[in-house]
Amino acid sequence: MVPNPLALIAEVTHRCPLHCVYCSNPRQLAAARSELSTDDWKRVFEQSGKLGVLHAHFTGGEPLARQDLTELIGAARAAGLYTNLITSGVGLAEARLQALIDSGLDHIQISFQDSREDAANWLAGAKAHAHKIELAHAIRRHKIAFTVNLVVHRQNLDHLEEMIAFIERLNPQRMEIAHTQYYGWALANRAALMPTLAQVEKAVAVVAEAEKRLAGRIRIDSVVPDYYAKYPKACMGGWGRRLMLVNPAGKVLPCHAAEILPGMSFDNIREKSLEWIWQDSPSFRQFRGEGWMPEPCRSCERRSEDFGGCRCQAFLLAGDMNATDPACSLAPSHQVVKVAVQEGNLSPRSGQPPSASGSFVELQKLNEDLWSYRTNPD
């Protein structure tokens, strides 16, 4: 018997009004017409509650794009789950915020792309920054847990102190300084996002200082990017150990990227029970335990801490989902990560936000040598 999952990631839609260049959604987005219905999601939450799941994370795309979000949050809460909304804030004003809180929303996390308006809008491919600030003020008037998530990378790390000071003024209880992870669009745009070593080292010091200064007032969570670490991250807390994700079309996955893995068949909540999928499905069993591990993982003393790292990253970078995550310094394929890091340090590509803001299409044209903006599903 596998211990029950702690959290359900409810990826309710891939529709999104933003086009962030660091988005880690799969490039193959779920079509709007394939999305689960309200009743489908209610069943997911009921089954999750029975399975002992404690947290539901509403994410996407942009979860606010779902017109029934208030109902979904109510259903998750009724099933006994703590509800977290991971959002850009676009589509949320006072009335809807109140409705979400009334239906049981426990925690809201708003993303910010930068402290500077034109840079933030350039990274997101949309003019969202001013609205996010308004929303942060509105949230502070309510009794709800509030986190600001800041995604960091080469294009904004040089003014990390300024961004942290900016977030402090928004007064959340918690701050996440999230180094970009290279999946989806972020991987495609990696050459423009990879921080330099100097930036990473400076960031570690800046965050440490801010943690001390803000202790007891704002909690800061931050992790060194795995390309720069000696050992890989324990991705999702291990395959099928702590977390499960239901994607917009009802596929149940151990993480948001797993559909790219070749030869794997993931089960759908429309056809199978959540409990069976978690406990017994071949996909969830595939990388549990140690039987699947190659060397050096199989004999490594860290194998029960990081589980050999990320399967998706092993496939994306080394072409083999069974291999040691190349982010690990002990991985046979570690060279691919070293080369990416070197390129990022020797020939860092940078851009500037445009002086005049035009449409998203114009923005893409202006920046086509730098990166690709996230598109929308059909």
Partner 1 sequence: MATPIDSSQPRLAPGCRWGGSEQERVILFPEGAIRLQGTGRQVLERCDGQRTFAEIITELQSQFKDADPAKVRADIGVFLEQLQQKRIVDY
Task: Catalog residues that contact partner 1 under the rule CB under 8 A.
Answer: 6, 54-55, 80, 82, 84, 106-107, 109, 143-147, 173-174, 215-219, 221
Least gap, CB of 169 to partner 1 (angstroms):
18
Least gap, CB of 211 to partner 1 (angstroms):
10
Least gap, CB of 69 to partner 1 (angstroms):
18
- SS3 per residue for the chain: CCCCCCEEEEECCCCCCCCCCCCCCCCCCCCHHHCCCHHHHHHHHHHHHHCCCCEEEEECCCHHHCCCHHHHHHHHHHCCCEEEEEECCCCCCHHHHHHHHHCCCCEEEEEECCCCHHHHHHHHCCCCHHHHHHHHHHHHCCCCEEEEEEEECCCCHHHHHHHHHHHHHHCCCEEEEEECCCCHHHHHCHHHHCCCHHHHHHHHHHHHHHHHHHCCCCEEEECCCHHHCCCCCCHHHCCCCCEEEECCCCEEECCCCHHHCCCCCCCECCCCCHHHHHHHCHHHHCCCCCCCCCCCHHHCCCHHHHCCCCHHHHHHHHCCCCCCCCCCCCCCCHHHHHHHHHHHHHCCCCCCCCCCCCCHHHHHHHCCCCCCCCCCCC
Extract the tokens encoding 251: 């596929």
Distance CA 166, CA 177 (A): 13
Least gap, CB of 8 to partner 1 (angstroms):
13
Nearer residue to partner 1 within complex by CB, 54 or 229: 54
Least gap, CB of 6 to partner 1 (angstroms):
7
Nearer residue to partner 1 within complex by CB, 9 or 274: 9
Nearer residue to partner 1 within complex by CB, 171 or 364: 171
Least gap, CB of 329 to partner 1 (angstroms):
28
Least gap, CB of 82 to partner 1 (angstroms):
4
Distance CA 189, CA 21 (A): 7
Question: Which DSSP symbol is given to 68?
Answer: T
Least gap, CB of 244 to partner 1 (angstroms):
16
Nearer residue to partner 1 within complex by CB, 146 or 183: 146
The answer to whether the beta carbons of residues 44 and 73 sit under 8 Å apart is no
Extract the tokens encoding 193: 């996002």
Least gap, CB of 104 to partner 1 (angstroms):
10
Distance CA 296, CA 236 (A): 21
Peptide bond into 17 cis (omega under 30): no
Least gap, CB of 181 to partner 1 (angstroms):
16
Tokens 């260049």 map to which residue? 21
